[in-house]
């Protein structure tokens, strides 16, 4: 799923007035929770309001909560948060991160962009649910913060704290948001080999 709002003009507060933008990526691999996570993210995508900052904040909060409620399934994590000096540069960084993640998908079956929901049928190419298989969820966020939102995450405690911080971002500060998960189909998971091949940058928790 992709949900985003184009980088917008800001008008309040020091951080909201300048052109500095922080682009953050948080990626979590979970031991596959029997399809319920993918089903929840699908419902969130279909029903979510992607045409307003308030709607995107709600989606970000729900996505963060979905991950926090499955902390017993966390297996791997990857994170980055960088500050750039212009909205144009931030948009380039954000789009590059998005393209890198989407290129790992064998099929993109559900997209919600500016309120337009598109669903496509796909032939399952991932292995069906087996012990030791995974779902990877990625949160891409652009905010008006003048400093990175977090440092490299290496522990479950740091991941929990970061999810809480992302879930508390206000509509005024959220500029762009994208929610991705792989595989999208509820019946499919990534095998250990697929995870290591496509997401070799992730570290174990």
Contact 53, 5 (CB under 8 A): yes
Tokens of 14: 């020091």
Question: Phi/psi at 157 (nearest 5 deg)?
Answer: -65, -45
pLDDT digits (tens, 9 = 90+) for 115-157: 444 344 443 334 444 455 899 999 999 999 999 999 999 999 9
Please give the pLDDT value at position 22: 96
C-alpha Rg value of the chain to the nearest Å: 16
pLDDT digits (tens, 9 = 90+) for 4-57: 444 444 444 577 888 899 999 999 999 976 558 888 898 887 887 878 888 899
Span 100-111, average pLDDT: 69
pLDDT digits (tens, 9 = 90+) for 55-82: 899 999 999 999 999 999 999 999 999 9
Tokens of 24: 């953050």
End-to-end CA distance of the chain: 25
* DSSP count for the chain of H helices, then E strands: 6, 9
pTM score, whole prediction: 0.82
């Amino acid at each position: 799923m992709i949900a985003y709002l184009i980088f917008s003009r800001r008008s309040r507060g020091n951080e909201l007035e300048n052109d500095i933008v922080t682009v953050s990526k948080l990626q979590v691999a979970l031991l596959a929770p029997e399809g319920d996570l993918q089903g929840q993210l699908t419902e969130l995508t279909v029903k979510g309001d992607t045409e307003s900052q308030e709607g995107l904040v709600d989606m970000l909060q729900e996505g963060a909560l979905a991950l926090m409620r499955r902390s017993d399934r966390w297996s791997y994590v990857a994170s980055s948060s960088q500050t750039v000096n212009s909205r144009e540069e931030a948009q380039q960084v954000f789009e590059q991160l998005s393209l890198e993640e989407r290129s790992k998908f064998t099929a993109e079956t559900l997209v919600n962009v500016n309120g337009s929901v598109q669903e496509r049928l796909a032939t399952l190419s991932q292995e069906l649910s087996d012990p030791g298989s995974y779902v990877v969820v990625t949160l891409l966020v652009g905010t008006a913060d003048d400093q990175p939102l977090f440092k490299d995450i290496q522990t479950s405690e740091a991941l929990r704290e970061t999810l809480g911080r992302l879930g508390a971002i206000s509509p005024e500060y959220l500029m762009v948001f994208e929610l991705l998960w792989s595989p999208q189909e509820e019946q499919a998971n990534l095998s250990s080999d697929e995870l290591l091949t496509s997401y070799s940058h992730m570290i174990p928790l």
